[in-house]
Structure 1
Amino acid sequence: MSDIKIISLGGVRENAKNMYAVEVDDEIFILDCGLKYPENELLGIDFVIPDFSYLRENSRKIVGVFLTHGHADAIGALPYFVSEFDVPVFGSELTIELAKIACENEEDARKFDDFHVIDESTEIDFENATISFFQTTHSIPESLGVVIKTENGNVVYTGDFKFDQSAEKGYRTDYARLTEIGREGVLALLSESANAENPRETVNERAIYDFISENFEYRKGRIIVACVASNILRVQQIFNAAAANNRKVALTGHDVEKVVKTAMRLNKLVLPEEDLLIPIKKINDYNDDEIVILETGRSGEPLKSLQKMAMGRHRFVNLHEGDLVFITTTPSHAMETKVARTRDMIYRSGADVKAIFDELNSSGHASKNDLQLMMNLVKPRYVIPVQGEYRMLSAHAELARELGIPSENIFLLKKGDVLEYKKDEMTISSSVEVGNTMIDGTGVGDIGNIVLRDRKILSEDGIFIAVVTIDRKKRKIVDTPKITSRGFVYIKTSKDLMVESRDIVAKIVQRDLDNKEFDWSQLKQDIRENLNNFLYEQTKRHPVILPVIMEINQNNHFSKKKKKG
């Protein structure tokens, strides 16, 4: 009997950042390697990736990374992973091509070339397990679930999926294969939960296309479509609707052009007309009712670009009266405030806004019925809801209980939990330390809680700077302390506050200079503490206080000048 461990490195009690390690004896199989976009409190952070600490400690056991699809929540962290770990990466043809594009953007990942294209009929034999795959329906072609076949039964990971009876070729679920996997015996099912708490059934993609095409037909002005670059299905629907309504399509953004060209090269995306696409610089050569602008934004996130358009700061497109901004992506709950703010800015520019999710319950993720159907098809002994905040995981667990799966066989994991199967029983045996690795520009993991706390304070209460020049030999302040601030108070109307602050700094510095045991760090700390107390008393705010102490030696300075003269 094999010793099996399932470790959540991301993707539980949070949206996106999917990464799970399944350890069978002394082999580790990694399922997805995704990122998530930061929430508002992560100031300045570009995105967040999983913590690889456990994998570093067990790097010799890793036999491969198995990718379910080509969205950022599944492949976004791969460039950072392959920069450190030299292990093979497996995925469908399109998924691998999109993974290569992601790796091109990270210098250390460009040299990695151990990619392997697989499909739903592929089986890979390892020493302790056999890996196979099954087709699923998602908003990108060639999405696959992963099966890890062990002596104790199958461990199944669904990736992102939904069931859609009207799905077209390349997007269809293989129901027969799922039934076969169930017959073989499924020990554990890791199933996505992103849409588990939604009480409404999702509409099929044919209804979504009809809705898009109808809006294209009856709108007279320009249509700016906001979409995620890697949502190939939605991009195809936009192309088809534009062609059916005699409109040309212009792409904005480097990301979408790369993704579209790659998907077209692989015949996963088809142009209904050869001359459908036009350069973004040519949009003024056409009437407004002949144009569709496809906006995906940097890294596939279109909202910031829409805000720039609304404020007249976009490189190519500025909104005006008569424009329709058509949001065709369904944002997560964490993005609702940002979506509302963006809509307000668009209306102020004179344009109109419409979103698919206002009128249709559209989603690329499994509904309640879909989740229960998946469990009925594969008949797992244990259910592990993944991908979603706690309330989504909990809703998924309730769906499992409705099917008669005992509560003790359902596990709502925290990041780092180690689920272990031993002696015919699955239990949470221990945990490993798992945090978040934050990416800020070229920095990987160099931003911690202290830096984020300072950024938060700076954004809310500003900075207060005290500059003092001293002569330590003569134990005196050379010049009156200079006080300035940014984002804290308006200096011209707060002269008394600045004068009192200056006097406090001068008093503290002189007191420390008079002390026989002068200490630089203690002096700065004294300034921070005293100023902090005073400023809070006066303003009820806590700015970041930055003391700047400069030292000169006046005797040396004057003697050098005299000698020179």
Structure 2
Amino acid sequence: MPTKSKKAKNIRIAAIGGLGEIGKNMYCVEYDDKIVVIDCGIKFPEDDLLGIDYVISDYQYVIKNRDKIQGLVITHGHEDHIGGIPFLLRQLSGINIYAGPLALALIRSKLEENGLTRDCNLIEIDEDSDLDFGEISVTFFRTTHSIPDTLGVAVHTPVGVVVQTGDYKFDLTPVDGQPAPNLQRMAKLGDEGVLLLMSDSTNAEVPTFTKSERFVGKSIRNIMESIKGRIIFASFASNISRIKQASDVAIENGRKIAVFGRSMEAAIKNGVELGYLDYPKGTLVDPKDVNNIPPEEMMILCTGSQGEPMAALSRIANGTHKQISIVPGDTVIFSSSPIPGNTMSVNHVINGLEEAGAEVIHGKVNNVHTSGHGGQEEQKLMLRLIKPKFFMPIHGEYRMLKIHTELAQLCDVPKENCFIMENGDVLELNQEEAKVVDHFPASDVFVDGNGIGDIGNAVIHERQLLSEDGLVAACATVKMKTGQILSGPDILSRGFIYMRESGELINQAQKQVYHAIKMCFRSSGRVTESMINDAIVDTLQDYLYEKTERKPIIIPMIISV
């Protein structure tokens, strides 16, 4: 392990993503000419990002410093920590990726889908691993979360130790087969001295301990044992502990289990191969046989707990699933809570299921879900165990970071030693002081289909205008030499007005366009298409707003002769 040196340089901490937001986690710990990158996640788009599939980080800082990168260390296998890896590897190949068994299996599946398996080296780690990069070394400590194999990370440098918790809660009674958090190793790090703690802030607004996964298991058991008909159980595919508890109850009550949804199928496959899940022979049945099994003997595990339009549960709710239709007596259990941006989609699915005749059980009121993130009491416990000199809250929106900082001060971290930062900020620190010294571009990058970064804020703004006020197209054929209008103007509308019932408005709009074109030729010697387009947009925007108080996108379509 590195020893302290009088000539030691400062440590630099850079947040590529994960600050002021839930998701997109990616952090760099730099010492001298070496960088350890921790996590590489995505963020799911909010409702106002129309048509966007994912939001990823701007990787330019990492690419610029590619020669310094010693490896990408993964804390656990959730999408907001591994989802960005395929996008990163398209710009930065050949790096070493270190991850626990389940996270590694999930990453490998992503890379196989994207044809990127040769673009990196996948290396399995556990809490006893010790990565030696010369002046920097990395050790780990076991935590608990809503997915197995979760690790906290300690980066050791000659200046001091930087600890990044990853996502965590202190679940002291985890589900069978899952180890408890290693408090002893955390306390040992604290006793030896930690320079900086970077800690998960997601549940900083929750004033209590987060309930144990085993507590949810009892609720699931009580609910499922009272259900007489078919059970449809929807959860995060990555929540192996939740899947195990639901499966165990189903098996004990003589139910067969069918799995729907590609990510759920992959989770079951990985869980069985890694020993987290165990299904007696004959328990898992072919999805094609679901309708041939009595409802009281059937449980369906499926994706779609977040209301994803193409997920199995959404297609069941809207009646488009090829194999499953809701029948009287069906009970759907939502064993999750909506992540930011998905609430409306989840409510839409719930409404569809209930309209189809299913009973839907969801929400914390039924105790069928608990968070994988620790509340304030657990955040204070982490602070007491690690005892950092400096503190930097991560993984949370601004208000969460602020509250977490206040908790740190209650746990004896001086106010001047706490840093609420933004993506792109660079914190430089040593044993005596810490301060923000630099900032680099770290804006969101939008992924739309196969397009990465080609959709900017201007396009998003146009999509929002289209969704709110629609568009109006003005078409005309113009003889440019004489200014004669050979045909049109014609007005077309999509999402703005119902044209059959707006004849007078359309007629007046046509006249406005006609006069705008004519005025161009009267007021200028040399007229271009661009000048005509600008005149049409200005005229129609003013006229339509005056008449409707709406601002549709105006698209001039001039055919010049």
Q: Is the 8 A contact 1:191 1:385 kept in 2?
A: yes
TM score, norm. by length of structure 1: 0.93
Return the offset for 1:322: 2.3
What secondary structure sits across from 2:472 in the alignment? strand
Picking from 344, 350, 361, the partner of 2:351 is 344
| 2:103 maps to 1:92 | no
Q: Counterpart of 2:163?
A: 156
Per-residue CA deviation, residues 306-365 of structure 1 (Å, 9 max, x unaligned), is: 343222123433334322221111223543344334333332222221125223371111
After TM superposition, list the pairs within 5 Å mapping 1:249-264 onto structure 2.
249-264=257-272
Return the offset for 1:302: 4.6
| 2:42 maps to 1:35 | yes
Q: Counterpart of 1:539?
A: 548
Q: Match for 2:17: what amino acid?
A: G
**Matched residues in 1 for 2:180 and 2:228: separation?**
35
**Taking every aligned residue pair, what percent have the same amino acid on both sides?**
36
Structure 1: tracts of 5 or more residues without a match? 553-565
| 2:82 maps to 1:75 | yes
Change (3 A) 1:441 1:322: same
Q: Counterpart of 1:143?
A: 150
**Matched residues in 1 for 2:87 and 2:339: separation?**
25
**Matched residues in 2 for 1:274 and 1:367: separation?**
40
**Matched residues in 2 for 1:447 and 1:228: separation?**
29
Per-residue CA deviation, residues 488-546 of structure 1 (Å, 9 max, x unaligned), is: 00001100111111111122223334542111112111111110110111111111111
**Matched residues in 2 for 1:400 and 1:524: separation?**
58
Q: Counterpart of 1:14?
A: 21
What secondary structure sits across from 1:139 in the alignment? coil
Q: Is the 8 A contact 1:476 1:513 kept in 2?
A: no
Per-residue CA deviation, residues 455-494 of structure 1 (Å, 9 max, x unaligned), is: 1111111111111112224431111222111110000110
Return the offset for 1:18: 0.7
Picking from 535, 539, 556, the partner of 1:530 is 539
Return the offset for 1:428: 1.4
Picking from 375, 396, 405, the partner of 1:397 is 405
Per-residue CA deviation, residues 220-270 of structure 1 (Å, 9 max, x unaligned), is: 222221211111111111211211122122111112212221221222322
- Alignment length (residue pairs): 548
Return the offset for 1:416: 1.1
Return the offset for 1:423: 6.6
Q: Counterpart of 2:558?
A: 549
What secondary structure sits across from 2:127 in the alignment? coil
Per-residue CA deviation, residues 339-394 of structure 1 (Å, 9 max, x unaligned), is: 33433333222222112522337111112221111111111111111111112112
Runs of 4+ in 1 over 4 A off after TM superposition: 300-303
Q: Is the 8 A contact 2:89 2:120 kept in 1?
A: no
**Matched residues in 2 for 1:528 and 1:19: separation?**
43
Return the offset for 1:276: 1.7
| 2:358 maps to 1:359 | no
Picking from 186, 205, 215, the partner of 1:207 is 215
Q: Match for 1:215: what amino acid?
A: I
Change (3 A) 1:386 1:258: same
Per-residue CA deviation, residues 196-226 of structure 1 (Å, 9 max, x unaligned), is: 2112432212221111122111112222212
**Matched residues in 2 for 1:97 and 1:484: separation?**
52
Structure 2: tracts of 5 or more residues without a match? 1-7
Deviates more, 1:197-206 or 1:232-241: 197-206
After TM superposition, list the pairs within 5 Å mapping 1:490-501 onto structure 2.
490-501=498-509
Q: Match for 1:203: what amino acid?
A: K
**Matched residues in 2 for 1:472 and 1:522: separation?**
12
**Matched residues in 2 for 1:481 and 1:41: separation?**
34
Picking from 374, 377, 382, the partner of 1:369 is 377
Return the offset for 1:31: 0.6
Q: Match for 2:229: what amino acid?
A: G
Picking from 476, 490, 496, the partner of 1:482 is 490
Q: Match for 1:60: what amino acid?
A: D
Q: Counterpart of 1:177?
A: 185
Q: Counterpart of 1:111?
A: 118
TM score, norm. by length of structure 2: 0.94
**Matched residues in 2 for 1:47 and 1:250: separation?**
29
Q: Counterpart of 1:289?
A: 296
Change (3 A) 1:3 1:315: farther
**Matched residues in 1 for 2:546 and 2:314: separation?**
39
**Matched residues in 1 for 2:543 and 2:123: separation?**
63
What secondary structure sits across from 1:100 in the alignment? helix
After TM superposition, list the pairs within 5 Å mapping 1:44-55 onto structure 2.
44-55=51-62
Q: Counterpart of 1:410?
A: 418
**Matched residues in 2 for 1:253 and 1:115: separation?**
26
What secondary structure sits across from 1:480 in the alignment? strand
**Matched residues in 2 for 1:243 and 1:227: separation?**
18
Picking from 330, 333, 336, the partner of 2:337 is 330
| 2:224 maps to 1:228 | no
Q: Counterpart of 1:237?
A: 245
Picking from 317, 320, 325, the partner of 2:324 is 317
Return the offset for 1:169: 3.5
Per-residue CA deviation, residues 65-98 of structure 1 (Å, 9 max, x unaligned), is: 0000111011000011112113111111221111
Q: Counterpart of 1:518?
A: 527
Q: Counterpart of 2:4?
A: none
Q: Match for 1:295: what amino acid?
A: C
What secondary structure sits across from 2:488 in the alignment? coil
Change (3 A) 1:517 1:110: farther
**Matched residues in 2 for 1:144 and 1:422: separation?**
25
Cα RMSD (Å): 1.8
